Structure 1
Amino acid sequence: MSTSTPFVIEVNELTKHFGSKCALDKVSFTIDQGHTIALVGPNGAGKTTLFSILCGFLRADSGAVRVLGQTPGDSSLFGVLSALPQDAQLDPRFSVGKQLTFYGQLQGLSRVQAQQETARVLEQVDLSNQINAKASELSHGMRKRICIAQALIGKPRIVLLDEATAGLDPINAKAIRTLVADLSKDITFILSSHDLSELERLCDTVLYLEKGELTSHQRYAQNGSDIAFLTLQVKQPDSQMQSHIAQLAGVKQVRQSQPDEFVIEYDAHQNALDIALLELCHHHGWVYKQLINGNTLENQLFATP
Structure 2
Amino acid sequence: MNAPIIKCHNLSHSYSGKAALSNISFICESGEPIGLVGPNGAGKSTLLNILCGFMRSASGNVTLFGHKPGASALSGRVSALPQDARLDPAFSIGEQLCFYARLQGLNTQQAKHETSRVLEAVALKDVLKEKPSVLSHGMAKRAAIAQALMGKPELILLDEPTAGLDPVNMRKIRTIITELSPVTTFIISSHDLAELGRLCQQMLLLDKGVMSTMQLNASENNKPTRFLTLQMESCPAPDVQAKFNNVAGISRVSNPQKNEFIIEYNPEIQPSMDLKIITCINDNNWQYRQLSQGKTLEEKLFFDGM
TM range (shorter): over 0.9
Q: Deviations along 1:199-243, whole A, 9 cap, x unmatched?
A: 111111111111111121222522734222110111122222112
**Distance across 2 between alignment mates of 1:223 and 1:165:** 30
Matches within 5 A, 1:137-176: 137-176=134-173
Query: 1:152: how far off?
Result: 0.2
Q: 2: distance between equivalents of 1:123 and 1:227?
A: 46
- 1:77 aligned residue: 74
Identify which of 233, 255, 267 aligns with 1:235.
Answer: 233
- Residue number in structure 2 paired with 1:129: 126
Residue equivalent to 1:193: 190
Percent of paired sites with the same residue: 48
**Aligned equivalent of 1:288:** 288
Cα distance in 2 between the residues matched to 1:27 and 1:223 = 27
When structure 1 is superposed on structure 2, of 182-191 and 61-70 the one drifting more is 61-70
Whole-angstrom distance in 1 between the partners of 2:183 and 2:221: 31
Aligned match of 2:254:
255
Which residue does 2:99 correspond to in 1?
102
* Counterparts of 1:28 and 1:260, CA distance in 2: 38
Aligned residues of 1:83 and 1:151 also touching (Cα < 8 A):
yes
Q: Which moved more, 1:244-253 or 1:29-38?
A: 244-253
Aligned to 2:301: 301
Counterpart of 2:177 in structure 1 is 180
One-letter code of the match for 1:194? H
Residues 252 and 223 from structure 1, CA distance in 2 versus in 1: closer, same or farther, beyond 3 angstroms? farther
2-structure distance, mates of 1:31, 1:247: 44
Letter in 2 for 1:291: L
In the other structure, the counterpart of 1:115 is: 112
How far apart are the structure 2 equivalents of 1:180 and 1:223?
26
Name the stretch that deviates more: 120-129 or 240-249.
240-249
Equivalence for 2:62: 65
Amino acid at match of 1:276: K
SS of equivalent residue, structure 2 residue 5? strand
2:70 and 2:247 map into 1 onto residues whose CA distance is 56
Q: Deviation digits for residues 98-129 of structure 1, max 9, x if unmatched?
A: 11001000111111111110010001000101
TM-score by length of 2: 0.95
Shift in alpha-carbon separation, 1:62–1:223, aligned structure 2, 3 A: farther
Q: Residues 113-171 of structure 1, C-alpha deviation per residue, up to 9 Å, x if partnerless? A: 11110010001000101111111111111111011000000000110111111112222
Using the size of structure 1 for normalisation, the TM-score is 0.95
1:25-40 matches, cutoff 5 A: 25-40=22-37
Is the 8 Å Cα contact of residues 65 and 71 (structure 1) preserved in structure 2? Answer: yes
SS at match of 1:12: strand
Structure 2: distance between partners of 1:106 and 1:156? 14
Paired position in structure 1 for 2:220: 222
Give the Cα–Cα distance (whole angstroms) in 2 for the partners of residues 171 and 245 of structure 1: 37
8 Å Cα contact 1:16-1:24 kept in structure 2: yes
**Matched-pair contact (CA < 8 Å) for 1:84–1:160:** yes
CA distance in 2 between counterparts of 1:120 and 1:199 reads: 26
Alpha-carbon distance in structure 2 between the residues aligned to 1:19 and 1:159: 30
Corresponding residue for 2:201?
204
Aligned residues: 302
In 2, Cα distance between equivalents of 1:265 and 1:29: 31
Distance 1:244 1:142 in 2: 49
Instruction: Give the CA deviation at 1:62.
Output: 1.7
Q: Deviations over 1:66-101 (max 9, x none)?
A: 211222122111111100101111111111111100
CA RMSD in angstroms, aligned pairs only? 1.4
User: Could you list the runs of 5+ residues in structure 2 that have no partner in the other structure?
Assistant: none
Structure 2 distance, partners of 1:278, 1:35, is 33
Amino acid at match of 2:244: I
The answer to whether structure 1 residue 272 and structure 2 residue 272 are counterparts is: yes
8 Å CA contact 1:92, 1:134 repeated in 2: yes
**Which consecutive residues of structure 1, in runs of 5 or more, have no partner in the other structure?**
none
SS in 2 for 1:146: helix
For each residue in 1:249-281, what CA deviation from the matched residue of structure 2 results, as whole angstroms up to 9, or x when unmatched?
A: 222221112111111122233311111111011
Residue type at the aligned position of 2:246 = Q
Tell me the SS of whatever aligns to 1:172.
helix
